[in-house]
Structure 1
Amino acid sequence: MNVETSQHAARKAELIACLKSAPAGGAPLGLGKRSSNLFRDRNEGAKQRLDLSGFSHVLDIDTARGWVDVEGMTTYEDLVAQTLPHGVMPAVVPQLKTITVGGAAAGVGIEATSFRHGLVHDTLLELDVLLPSGEVVSCTPANEHRDLFYGFPNSYGTLGYALRLRLRTTPVKPFVRVEHLRHRAPSAFFGDLAIRCAGGADFIDGVVFGPQEQVVNVAGFVDTAPWLSDYTFENIYYLSLLDKEVDYLSVQDYLWRWDTDWFWCSKNLYAQHPLVRRLLGRARLNSRTYTRVMRWNAETGVTKRLARWQGRHPESVIQDVDIPAARAGEFLDFLLHEIGIVPIWICPIRAPKRDARFALYPLAPDTTYLNFGFWDVVDGSVELEPHHFNHLVEREVMRLGGIKSLYSDCYFSPAEFAQAYDMEAYAALKAKYDPHKRMLGLYEKCVLRA
């Protein structure tokens, strides 16, 4: 047992003792965490807060067998910083530095390697879960807790918390070459995405800038680079897609290419203006800064009050949805005509074959999905029914056989939610692993925002 592993065991024993000594009943358990990558307003009641902040270490990296052991509260920024010197990276690295490994497993994590490796939870080999009772169980695809292994993803801290996870890694080279392939019609864009996914690329994603402007980004590891672009300060990555045919980045800068400007959402904070950029400085141009501002705005209601004063009726539409590739053209047409948000991030997903499906995020086997990420405000001078545009999105996703991530606002009825996320399987997991309901239920937490 190495030093990190022994220290992990000590932290775990202390946590278990603390939780088991806590009084039963009363307020539900919740995670005591200063930051979050959830994008839904919450009406939280009282909770018994668990402090898991100490579980933020990389425990072991096995390059020969292709895995990394890591604690659940470790950010991907810290994980990547430790794996890259060993010549490997997690097989799927979500886009934002502050996303934690446990959060990506309990939620849904995705990136440009997902066309080959699936979602973050598809790269899981095993995990240790702290149950509400204080017991810690080790879950693998084949042991007595395989139901929790396949039921933990998309459970959002309602069945337990991941203390340790073993993830698959993949080898890297020092640099990444990116090719930007521009298209003027969605049919050509989606057709090219399909062709590229069948090729030998290491990374694939795309951006829809409008009905006549789309870009497929195809990237691969290389040993040398004739130049390196820097998108951590004055230059903006997503604008380069329309400006450069070929680009080169260090592997670290490529993995965090979207973090500097929160994809393109930094424009809402005027952070894409050259003067504001210089005032903020390199150290504050990142998702960590923007998330703090967003939380402050949610708490104070500044923009809502300003909109009312101006007679506007804005609705935030912050969504990531996965649509079967065969129906992607229909969904894009819907988005452009009914919602009107651009740019739209497109990321292909094809989960590796497994013996069982992940119960609460049941993507169809042997099927390519396209993730559509769209994050903005739909503004208008006419007051519509509450959550009008988000309702439209949810209904269209279900009509097309897709599924949406639960990190943002949800408005499903209980029946719709049960249909989309297999609440029958969830009820069995809840009865087994949280029989006394010390944690909130999934619908309570993700839709009712309890």
Structure 2
Amino acid sequence: MIPSSIKNRLIQWLEDHREFVVCAFCLPASFLFTLILRIRNALRRFYSDPQRHDTAVREIQARVQQWNKLPDKKGRLLCTSRPNWLSLSTTFFEKHLHHRIPIPLYDILELDETAMTVRVEPMVTIGDITEFLIPKGYSLAVTIELVDATLGGLAFGTGMSTHSHKAGLYHETITSYEVVLGDGSLVTATADNEYSDLYKALPWSHGSLGFLVALTLKIVKVKPYIKITYTPIKGQKNYCDLLREVSGANQAKPIYFPDYIEGTIFSKDEAVVMTGDYSDYDSNITVNHCSRWYKPWFYKHVESFLKKGETVELIPLRDYLLRHNRPIFWVVEDMLSFGNHPIFRTLFGWLLPPKPAFLKFTTTPGVRAYTFTKQVFQDIVLPIHELEKQIEISTELFDKFPLLVYPCKVIDHGPSSGQLARPQAKYMVPGTNYAMYNDLGVYGVPGKVKDKKPYNPVRAMRAMEKFTRDVGGFSFLYADIFMTKEEFGKMFDLSLYEVVRKKYRAEGAFPHLYDKVKPEIDVFSIGEENAISDQ
């Protein structure tokens, strides 16, 4: 056992020399780790065979049925055997306390160009599907920016992209779910079949209702490039108004309704609004392969337009879709302040980003508890008409810029239609069945921590969650939540979920949603013990 005095000095040394540790150990080890995973995935693709899908699903069913026959389950509910470190969630679900079922499903099963859908197994990643679809002239209607995100994980969680002001949240693009239930039966849930109630409850269920074995997603026709306009704006109301105008928050058919919209807020008074449309090559416009390893980090490139003024570029579609992957938005800057320097990018940019799976793989409970108090990583979905308030409270609580803003329509499907509560009437776009919300992305080390000012992560996040509940917003559940079960039930509508759990034999077979997504650590005690005192 390491004496606490030595342990504290070691932790302090690691914190003081974080950049040395990242360069000397984290990046090379992460690169090798990534290489091993790529070789494994390449071998898996080499031996893959979509024709084996039915056989693999029957094996999953058989394992669930065998679990049902165990005389004494000792409270061991079902979960997948996928290691925690492969998940992009910030939490570490305690799988060792559960009965784990392998879900070895990694294949793209069918492209239907008539129906404009693609059927995939749940372990297909964003990297896989973009490589498959884009050369054929297609893309998912909602493509998350991180290559390692799995389509199944997003289906039971959720996500949004800069196309979501048109397409909505990720789950709105799913036409069917194929699910193994708690008794081992296989069902296909769609919006208009006998399992329509299950179809509504599966998004945001995080694997608490069944095992996903295939899903069908909408695709859209695309062109090779995105023609993107960078518009720098001063004045908070000015950039907030522009985001509302182009996203269609004020009227259903705005004068200009771009294919892609993104806002990067660099301070309370300065932002760059990006609007993009599908485009063919145009020799009169500069082409920016922004995702290449030696190029400036995308958000730094965006920041340059605060001085340059409005500019138009062409970005190859896959480069655009994965533009935030290298710096993990702007999280890498807190690990490596010189990571965007031209010399570093030229010599070592190919090592980036540190693999999220590697970072989780090497995270011990002690490191998890320590880092929890030193950083924030949250995506919060809020009505875009409250954007000014969002920025104010985020600045007060976290003092962290840039802030990410993606407009996204949230559709009102009526009462008891899933875990997302219905949008409030005052936020609805006139003449439609949806309200315009936005993702507020807050990532990295809060300014108060950097400046060693009073900061309590629990109090800050609970204040943010209260604001979110008050305006009818919701938190993405891949990140740590700080709500009690009662508060969780106020943010999310669990009425249909609880009915579906009983009806489809998930109760007693799978963990409850709240238990599945709550942090595995005691956030309240750790936050109080380790945070910089604000008394």
After TM superposition, is the score higher than 0.5? Answer: yes
Question: Equivalent of 1:294, from 352, 355, 359?
Answer: 359
3-state SS of paired residue (1:116): helix
Tell me how far 1:298 sits from its aligned partner: 3.2
Q: Which residue number in structure 2 is paired with residue 125 of structure 1?
A: 175
**Partner residue in 2 for 1:413:** 484
Alignment partner of 1:169: what SS?
A: strand
Which residue identity lines up with residue 161 of structure 2 in the other structure? E
Distance in 1 of aligned mates of 2:229 and 2:211: 39
1:262-281 alignment to 2 at 5 Å? 262-270=328-336, 271-274=339-342, 276-278=344-346, 280-281=348-349
Question: Which amino acid counterpart does residue 238 of structure 1 have in structure 2?
Answer: Y
Corresponding residue for residue 310 of structure 1: none
Match of residue 323, structure 1, among 360, 382, 389: 382
Percent identity between matched residues is 23
Instruction: Note if 1:49 corresponds to 2:100.
Output: yes
Q: Is the counterpart of residue 7 in structure 1 residue 78 in structure 2?
A: no
User: Secondary structure at the residue paired with 1:261?
Assistant: coil
| Counterpart AA for 1:394 | E
Work out whether residues 90 and 169 of structure 1, in 8 Å CA contact, stay in contact via their aligned partners in 2: yes
Contact 1:153 1:358 in 2 (8 A): no
Contact residue 208 and residue 506 of structure 2 kept, 8 A: no
Matching residue within 420, 435, 441 for 2:512: 441
For each residue in 1:94-114, what CA deviation from the matched residue of structure 2 results, as whole angstroms up to 9, or x when unmatched? Answer: 111111111111001110000
Return the letter of the residue paired with 2:439.
Answer: N
Q: CA deviation at 1:448?
A: 5.2
**Alpha-carbon distance change, 113 to 385 in structure 1, aligned in 2, over 3 angstroms:** closer
- Aligned-partner SS, 1:112: coil
Residue in structure 1 matched with residue 160 of structure 2 by the alignment: 110
Q: Deviations over 1:137-176 (max 9, x none)?
A: 1000011111110100111011112211111110010111
Distance 1:325 1:55, change over 3 A: same
Cα distance in 2 for residues equivalent to 1:290 and 1:424: 38
- Give the Cα separation in 1 of the matches to 2:457 and 2:246: 40
Query: Which AA in structure 1 matches 2:234?
Result: R
Residue of structure 1 equivalent to 2:265: 208
Distance 1:4 1:229 in 2: 37
Q: State the Cα distance separating 1:6 from its structure 2 match.
A: 3.4
- Distance (Å, rounded) in 2 between the aligned partners of 1:239 and 1:114: 24
1:368 aligned counterpart, secondary structure: strand
Contact 1:175 1:225 in 2 (8 A): no
Per the alignment, residue 78 of structure 2 pairs with 29
Q: How many residues align?
A: 438
Q: 2:301 aligns with which of 240, 250, 258?
A: 240
**Whole-angstrom CA distance in 1 between matches of 2:244 and 2:326:** 28
Equivalents in 2 of 1:79, 1:411: separation in Å? 34
| 2:251 paired residue number | none
The amino acid that maps onto 1:33 is: R
Shift of 1:281: 4.4
> Equivalent residue of 2:466, what SS?
helix
Once the 2 structures are TM-superposed, how far is the Cα of residue 186 of structure 1 from its aligned partner? 1.8
Distance in 1 separating the partners of 2:408 and 2:518: 25
Deviations 1:35-72 (A, max 9, x none): 011012555552222221x3111111122221111111
Relative distance call for 1:390 and 1:294 in structure 2 (3 A) is farther
Are the structure 2 counterparts of residues 297 and 14 from structure 1 closer, same or farther at C-alpha, using a change threshold of 3 Å?
A: closer
- What TM-score results when the alignment is normalised by the length of structure 1? 0.90
Asked whether the 8 Å contact 2:118–2:217 carries over to 1, the reply is: yes
* Residue range with higher mean Cα deviation, 253-262 or 329-338: 329-338
Deviations 1:204-238 (A, max 9, x none): 11111111211111011111143422332122111
Q: Report the Cα offset of residue 182 of structure 1.
A: 1.0
Structure-to-structure mapping, 1:114-153, within 5 angstroms: 114-153=164-203
What 5-or-longer segments of structure 2 have no aligned partner? 1-47, 248-253, 306-310, 424-432, 522-535
Q: Which amino acid in 2 is paired with 1:419? A: K
Q: What code does the residue aligned with 2:229 have?
A: E
Is the contact between residue 102 and residue 161 of structure 1 (CA under 8 Å) also seen in structure 2? no
- Spell out, residue by residue over 1:353-402, the C-alpha distance to the aligned partner (whole angstroms, 9 max, x if none): 75777411235242100110111233164666661211111111112221
2:213 to 163, 169, 173: 163
**Could you give the per-residue CA deviations for residues 281-338 of structure 1, whole angstroms, max 9, x where no partner exists?**
42x423xx34135315632645866x8xxxxx94432111111111121111111122
- Aligned equivalent of 1:340: 399
Choose 210-219 or 27-36, whichever is displaced more: 27-36
**Is 1:367 aligned to residue 440 of structure 2?**
no
Distance change >3 Å, CA 141–CA 279, structure 1 → 2 = same
Distance 1:48 1:78 in 2: 29
CA distance in structure 1 between the aligned counterparts of 2:331 and 2:507, rounded to whole angstroms: 41
Q: 2:501 aligns with which of 422, 430, 435?
A: 430
Write the letter of the residue equivalent to 1:134.
Answer: G
Q: Measured at CA, do residues 317 and 182 of structure 1 come closer, stay the same or move farther in structure 2, by a change above 3 Å?
A: same
User: What is the alpha-carbon distance in structure 2 between the residues aligned to residue 293 and residue 275 of structure 1?
Assistant: 25
> Contact (CA 8 Å) 2:92, 2:519: kept in 1 or not?
no
Contact 1:118 1:350 survives alignment (8 Å):
yes
Closer, same or farther in 2 for the Cα pair 1:304/1:441, shift >3 Å?
closer
Q: Is the 8 A contact 1:359 1:422 kept in 2?
A: yes
The whole-number CA distance in structure 1 between the counterparts of 2:457 and 2:440 is: 23
Runs (5+) with no aligned partner, structure 1? 308-312
58-67 or 137-146, larger mean C-alpha shift: 58-67
Q: For residue 352 of structure 2, what is the amino acid of its counterpart?
A: L
Structure ranking higher in helix proportion: 2
Please report the RMSD computed on the Cα atoms of aligned residues, expressed in angstroms: 2.4
Q: Where does residue 92 of structure 1 map in the other structure?
A: 142
For 1:105 and 1:50, locate their aligned partners in 2 and report how far apart those are by CA, in whole Å.
19
Q: Equivalents in 2 of 1:68, 1:443: separation in Å?
A: 31
| SS of aligned partner of 2:90 | coil
Cα gap change, 1:385/1:77 in structure 2, threshold over 3 Å: closer, same or farther? closer
Counterpart CA distance in 1 for 2:49 and 2:358 is: 35
